[in-house]
A and B are shown apart, each in its own frame.
Chain A
C-alpha cells in the first residue's frame, strides 16, 4: 500500500491503495466518479479519457503511484465548465452522440483539442480523435462536430467568442 496525494477536480485528495491500482478504478470505486467508463481496460477505446496536467490520458493506463502531485480532471468537472461548452453544444447539435457511453471520453479529448493554441485544423483534430471509439454514430455526427469546432468558416456562428 502507498499513500498518494494529488489534485482531483481542483481539490487536494489523498488515497491509500496498492501502487498499481488504476486511476480508472480509483475514480469510479473510491471517488464514485463514473463518467470515465471501463470500455476496454487497455487504452484502446478512449471511453475513460481524463486530463492529467491538462493532457488527455486513458485513466485505465495510469497507476496510482504515477499520480503523486499531479492534477487530475474528470469529465464530471469539465461537463459543468464553460471550457467544454462549445464542444457539448456542437456534439448535441451535430448528432455527435447516440448511446452516449463514449461521450464523456470523447468530450475530454475534443475539449483539449479545442483549447490548444494554435487550434488544430479539422483533419489534424480528426486524427488526434481516432483514439476515441464510437460504435453508434459511424462518426458522421462526430465529423460534423469536428467541422463546427475546427473549421474556421463553419465555427464562427457557433462559437462567437473565439477570436478568428
Chain B
C-alpha cells in the first residue's frame, strides 16, 4: 500500500545537509561594515537638517471638513506646514491602483493616514506644530470587517466600492470529481494580521546636492521606481532626484512600496533645506503595511484510494485602506492554494476588500503562506480520513514533474516537491512516533509541503537591467538597482560574479540601490534577485569576459587565448598578463561597460498573474504543548529545500532560519487585531515576536537537483521558509493536541479550551 504512482524515477539527490552548509558558509562580505556600525538611512542626521513630523488621522474613517494650519505656521522654528494643496504634482500613488493620497485632502481611511506634514528646526518644535494644526472631521461608519465591507449597504472606503479585486478560476468537471470522493473535508480557516516588525522603522533624510538634485535616502526595495513616483508627486523631472535605498534595516516586504519618502521630499522641496523624517514604533505600526488577514473556506476530497479529486477555495482578504500590493497578494493566494498536487477539478474564487483596518501589503510569503496553511491542514485531515500516513498521502497526490501549473499554465518541469518529501521520508524526526505525551507536555510532529513561485506573475515587473563595468580602480563591478536588506545579496552576487567571470571575489564590487549609480533592475522582491543575477551572468558573462580581453588588446599585445582569471588577465597557460587595476588605468577613457537587459521570462499561457518557475520546500516541525498553560513551544524545525544549486550557503541558512522563525511567530503568537479600525497594539510590548528563548533548533537541508535542461537555475530562497514553516507548525500542533487547527495563531486559550472539552 501507499506506493506513490505519481513519483517519477528520481536520479540520486544532490543533498547538502546542515553540517555541509555550515562548512560551506563564510562571513558575509558586508559583515565587517555592519559590525563597524556603518550608518543606516535613518542614521543620516544631515547638516542642519530640519525635523519632519506627520499629522496622521486619529480616526479610522472620516471626511475632512477643514484644515487650519495658521497657528502651527506661527510657532517658532517652523519652516513649513504642508497639506494636500501644497503637492505640486500627482496627489496619489500606488502600484496597479493609484489610490493612496500623499496627504489626505477630502477623507481619511485609516488611523495615521497623513493629513499634514511639518518641518521645523527641532523635533520638539515639529511636534508642537503638528499638535497645533486644527482639523475638523465628520466621522464616517468604520468598515472593520472585510465581509461586511462587501455588503450592499456598507460604507464605501473608496468611491469605486469596497471590492478592490476579485478572481475566479476553474478547470475540470467539479461535479464528477466531487461524486468520485469518499472523503471530503470542508472548513473555514483564518490567518492573522502579521506585522513585519523590521527593527529599523521607516526613516531617512532628503538633502540637496551640489547638482541641484534632491537626494532621497530611505531604506527601500526599488529605488528607481521610487524615484519615478516621487518625481511625479513633486512635478520634477526624474533627473532632479536621486534615490538611495540601501542598506535597509529589515524589510520583509514592508518597505517595498513608498510610505513616507514623498512627505520628506515634499518638505525638502518646499523649504529648500535638508529634512529628516523617522517614524517612532507607534507611527510605524499605524502607517506600515501588514500581512493580509484572510478567511479561507476550503473544500476538498479524495477517493477511497486516497487520491485527491477536487479542491474548492473561497478566499476573502482584507487589504485595509489602500491597494498597494493587495491584488497581487490575492492572485498569489489563489495560485498557491492548489499546491503541488494533482486534482481532477479545481474551483477557486478570491475577493479582496477595502476596509479601514490600517493597510495590508507585501510581506514575505506574499499571499501564498495564508492559503498554504489552509491547504496543508486540509491535506493532513484528508490523509487521516483516508487512513494514510501524511507523507505517503502527499507523495501519492503530487502532480507529475511535467504537469501544468496550479492554474493549468505552462510551468518549467520540476521534481522538487517529490525530492523534498523523499528526503524527509527517512528523517529520524519523521520515522519516530509523531505524537507522544510526557507528563504535562504533549509532543507532536507535523509535516508540510509547499511549492512557491519565483518572480512576479505574468504581466508583472519581471524584466531587469543590470550593468557590468570595469571601475576606475580595476574592480569588476556589478551594478544593480536592488537593495541589501540582510538577505546577503552582496555575498551571493559576489560569489556569482567570481564564478561566471572566472575571477576572484576580491576582484569584484557589487554596487546596489542608488539611482545615480545603478540601473532599473526592478523590485528587490518576489525571491527574484539571485535568479536574475544568475541568469544575467550565465547568459552574458562570456561576452563580458571577452570584452575585458578586447579592451586590453587595444594597447597591449596579448596571447591569442588570453582570458580572465583571479587578479587579472592571464595567458592560456595561466601566466599573469595584465592585472585589473592596470587594465583600468590603461583604458581610462574607454573603460568597457556592458548593459544587460534581461527580458521578462513568463509563462506563455494566457493566464494573468500565473507563474512560470517554482521552487519547493518540505518541513517537519516538532512542538511541545504545555497542557497546563496551553503554550506552544516549537522545539525543532527541519526544512528540506529543493531550490537548485546553492549559491551562498550562509545566505541560504540565514534565509531559511529567519523565515522559519517568522513563520513560527505567525503560527503561534503573532496577530494584530484591528477592532473598530484601531490596531490593538502599537509597540513590541503588545505585539510579540519570537525571542532567542523561543527559537527552535533548525536543521536546513538543500537539494540541489534541477531537471535536465532547466533554463532558470537556482530558485529564490527569500520567502519559502515562511511558507513552509507556518503549515508545518500548525500540523504539529494538531498532531500533538488533536485540536482541529483552523485559526492562526494557535493561542494558549484555544489549546486549553480544546483540552478541557476533551477531558
B-binding residues in A (CB < 8 A): 28-29, 32, 34-35, 37-42, 44-45, 47, 75-76, 79-80, 88, 91-93, 95, 97-104, 107, 126-127, 129-144
Contact = CB atoms under 8 A, between A and B. Distances in A.
A103 B35 contact: yes
Contact of A35 (B37, B278, B660): B37
Contacts of B567: none
Given A44-B685, A133-B684, A139-B692, 11 more contacts: A37-B199, A39-B199, A40-B684, A42-B684, A44-B684, A98-B654, A100-B34, A100-B40, A137-B654, A138-B659, A138-B698
A88 B35 contact: yes
A99 B26 CA distance: 16
Given A37-B200, A98-B487, A136 B692 contact: no
B158 interface: no
28 contacts: A37-B200, A39-B199, A40-B684, A40-B685, A41-B280, A44-B683, A44-B684, A79-B36, A95-B653, A97-B28, A97-B31, A99-B250, A99-B251, A100-B30, A100-B38, A100-B486, A126-B692, A129-B692, A130-B692, A133-B691, A135-B198, A138-B656, A139-B690, A139-B691, A140-B654, A140-B695, A141-B654, A143-B692
A41 B693 contact: no
A42 B683 contact: yes
B281 A40 contact: yes
Contacts of B661: 138-139
Interface string B268-284: 00000000001011000
A30 to B, nearest CB: 11
Given A133-B199, A135-B689, A97 B695 contact: no
Interface centre among A44, A92, A95, A100 (most CB of B within 10 A): A100
Nearest to A98: B486
B393 interface: no
A134 B685 CA distance: 15
Contacts of B35: 79, 88, 91-92, 97, 100, 103, 107
Interface string B222-249: 0000000000000000000000000111
Interface string B254-293: 0000000000000000000000001011000000000000
Contact of B486 (A136, A142, A144): A136
B43 A47 contact: no
A139 B657 contact: yes
B37 A76 contact: yes
B280 A92 contact: no
Nearest to B278: A38
Contacts of A132: 692
B199 A34 contact: no
A99 B693 contact: no
B650 interface: yes
Contacts of B31: 91-92, 97
Interface in B129-159: none
B160 interface: no
B240 to A, nearest CB: 28
A97 B22 CA distance: 15
B25 A37 contact: no
B488 interface: yes
B23 interface: no
B662 interface: yes
Interface string B627-649: 00000000000000000000000
A140 B37 contact: no
A136 B34 CA distance: 14
Interface of B: 22, 25, 27-28, 30-32, 34-40, 43, 45, 123, 196-201, 247-252, 278, 280-281, 485-488, 650, 653-654, 656-662, 683-685, 689-693, 695, 698
Nearest to A146: B692
A92 B30 CA distance: 9
Contacts of B695: 138-140, 143
Interface centre among B25, B28, B199 (most CB of A within 10 A): B199
Question: From DSSP, what is the main secondary structure of chain A's interface residues?
Answer: loop
Contacts of A80: 36
A35 B250 CA distance: 16
A127 B43 CA distance: 30
Nearest to A100: B34
A30 B487 CA distance: 33
Contacts of A32: 45
Contacts, number: 159
Nearest to B693: A130
A154 B266 CA distance: 54
Contacts of A79: 35-37
B692 A75 contact: no
A121 B653 CA distance: 25
Contacts of B43: 28, 34, 37
Nearest to B38: A100
Given A76-B37, A129-B692, A45 B684 contact: yes
Nearest 7 Cβ contacts at the A-B interface: A99-B486, A140-B657, A100-B34, A101-B249, A98-B486, A138-B661, A138-B657
A113 to B, nearest CB: 12
A34 B278 CA distance: 13
Contact of B27 (A44, A75, A92): A92
B34 A40 contact: no
Contacts of A138: 656-662, 690, 695, 698
A40 to B, nearest CB: 5
Given A42-B684, A138-B659, A138-B660, A99 B27 contact: no
A35 B43 CA distance: 8
Contacts of A76: 37
B650 to A, nearest CB: 5
Interface centre among B28, B281, B691, B693 (most CB of A within 10 A): B691
Contacts of A42: 281, 683-685
A100 B657 contact: no
Given A107-B35, A141-B653, A135 B252 contact: yes
Nearest to A75: B37
A135 B683 contact: no
Interface centre among B35, B251, B657 (most CB of A within 10 A): B35
A43 B32 CA distance: 27
Contacts of A102: 199
A40 B683 contact: yes
A15 to B, nearest CB: 15
Contacts of B662: 135, 138
Contacts of A142: 692
Given A95-B653, A98-B486, A98-B658, A34 B36 contact: no
Interface centre among B32, B247, B485, B683 (most CB of A within 10 A): B683
Nearest to A34: B43
B137 to A, nearest CB: 28
B30 to A, nearest CB: 8
Given A92-B28, A138-B698, A101 B657 contact: no
Contacts of A127: 693
Contact of A99 (B39, B45, B200, B689): B200
B37 A104 contact: yes
A107 to B, nearest CB: 7
B197 A135 contact: yes
Contacts of B654: 95, 98, 136-137, 140-141
B199 A135 contact: yes
Contacts of A41: 280-281, 683
A101 B251 CA distance: 11
Contacts of A39: 199-201, 281, 684
